[in-house]
Amino acid sequence: MSLTPKERDACARIESWRQRMVDELAAWVAIPTGRGHVPGLHRQRALLAARLRALGAVTHDEPCEARPAWIDPPWAHGGAAGGVGHGSAGVGEGDTSIDVLVAKHDAPGPRLLLSGHFDTVHDPHGAFRALVDVGGGRAQGPGAADMKGGLVIALAALEAIRDAGVPPAWTFVLTPDEETGSFGSAAALARVAPGHAAGFVFEPAGDGDSLVVERMGAGQFMVEATGRAAHAGRDYAKGVSAVRVLCERVLQAERASDAAAGRIVNVGPLQGGAVTNAVPDRARAWGNMRFADDARQAELERAIDALASGDDDEVPRVRVRRVVGRPAKPMTPAVERLAALAREASEDLGRPLPFARSGGVCDGNNLQAAGLPVIDTLGVRGGNLHRTDEWVDLEGLVDRAQLVALVLMRARERVAPSP
């Protein structure tokens, strides 16, 4: 297949916006939105809302839930509860509530769901604060690839297809806490997703420009052991070490891991005891589980639950908490069709689009679990994500935006509306 006149029109517009996209990316990268930095998140969110309204969308807020406090060890996020959402402390002062941003644009045809996040993992007070051209067509900056670059190209694509005269019906949902697991925005994603025919997420392209078509799911857990304190010298025999009990449970938990079978349990960090000359009466471990599908999820949940023991006043006793924030995102026939549509569009632009699978998770997991097929690495070409040398391919802003434009235009024609 080759490009239609309208597709060529949209691509030509994007080509002419190269410098404008770089400038917009530089402006957004300079806004610190890492680690729950509330003023930066508010500023970035307001800019996105204005940009989406200029595209003809109506915007509204979806409130975030509180992040479960037990998920983070006390020293995480600089001692604050961490994350974003009502009832949780951000790093900043004052209003700590950052809502999910939802923008809706009406047009005939199936309704398409676009999804992105405007937080990053980067230290808002660190040295890595701006987009810097490092030569070779690359620029480094916090969130340049993950995913402020993805947001820039998604908006350019929407603008180009509107100007080309074929705007689809779309909803754009933007979360402020994806990098910490979207615990605040998961419920909002589940509320927004129904009624959409397909989902498109602007995480950076996979290795070799690949499109990730399958992702594991992820959950968090915390194991807490209670023992009996005693002086290590005078009363050692009266003590019951919570650290020893916890260590046994850690080994038990890790035995549930079988990466080849699609089950991963990773334990850490750990905390136990306060001084060396007392038998520790309290110890805790935080962990992460990854699973290939719902059946593996159930197996891991049973394994984690089996770590608990002892009645409420019994010593020692072990208690467990767990939550699955990201259901697995398996390949389905509908995902396969969507991925094939994207591959054809990419090939029509002269670039192959290999498929890949990942143990990593994103908001695409939650959206697909809400019932629609989702493809989720449609963002920019870049690398060294989550590091202070994260980079984006500046030339790629054009061709990746063109790919998004083509994918959305063709999805408008070919994807069956949501039942």
Q: Which residues contact Zn ion (rule: CB under 5 A)?
A: 146-147, 203
Q: Which is nearer to Zn ion, 322 or 326 (CB)?
A: 326
CA 214 – CA 373 distance, rounded (Å)? 11
Query: In the complex, what is the shortest distance from the CB of residue 146 to Zn ion, in angstroms, rounded to a whole number?
Result: 4
Q: Which is nearer to Zn ion, 203 or 301 (CB)?
A: 203
Query: In the complex, what is the shortest distance from the CB of residue 63 to Zn ion, in angstroms, rounded to a whole number?
Result: 22
User: With b meaning 16 or more CB within 10 Å and e meaning fewer, what string describes 370-409?
Assistant: bebbbbbbbbbbbbebeeeebbbbbebbbbbbbbbbbbbb
Query: In the complex, what is the shortest distance from the CB of residue 293 to Zn ion, in angstroms, rounded to a whole number?
Result: 23
Query: In the complex, what is the shortest distance from the CB of residue 252 to Zn ion, in angstroms, rounded to a whole number?
Result: 33
Token pair 């969110």 in the structure block, residue = 45
CA 361 – CA 92 distance, rounded (Å)? 27
Q: Which is nearer to Zn ion, 48 or 161 (CB)?
A: 48
The region, left, alpha or beta by phi > 0 then psi within -120 to 50, assigned to residue 286 is: beta
Query: In the complex, what is the shortest distance from the CB of residue 83 to Zn ion, in angstroms, rounded to a whole number?
Result: 15
CA 356 – CA 333 distance, rounded (Å)? 16
Q: Which is nearer to Zn ion, 203 or 281 (CB)?
A: 203
Q: Which is nearer to Zn ion, 80 or 385 (CB)?
A: 385
Token pair 């054809």 in the structure block, residue = 344
Length of the chain: 419
Segment (H or E) for 373? none
Query: In the complex, what is the shortest distance from the CB of residue 50 to Zn ion, in angstroms, rounded to a whole number?
Result: 22
Query: In the complex, what is the shortest distance from the CB of residue 188 to Zn ion, in angstroms, rounded to a whole number?
Result: 17
Nearest partner of 36 among 225, 175, 145, judged by Cα = 175
CA 142 – CA 175 distance, rounded (Å)? 17
Query: In the complex, what is the shortest distance from the CB of residue 119 to Zn ion, in angstroms, rounded to a whole number?
Result: 9
CA distances from 69 to 28, 76, 226, 272, 361 (A): 30, 11, 19, 18, 21
CA 331 – CA 59 distance, rounded (Å)? 32
Nearest partner of 204 among 409, 392, 52, 24, judged by Cα = 392
Q: Which is nearer to Zn ion, 151 or 164 (CB)?
A: 151
- Helix H segments across 69-185? 149-163
Q: Are strands 230-231 and 355-358 parallel, antiparallel or unpaired?
A: unpaired
Q: Which residue is nearest to Zn ion (CB)?
A: 146
CA 327 – CA 219 distance, rounded (Å)? 8
Q: Which is nearer to Zn ion, 33 or 241 (CB)?
A: 33
Query: In the complex, what is the shortest distance from the CB of residue 395 to Zn ion, in angstroms, rounded to a whole number?
Result: 21
Q: Which is nearer to Zn ion, 149 or 219 (CB)?
A: 149
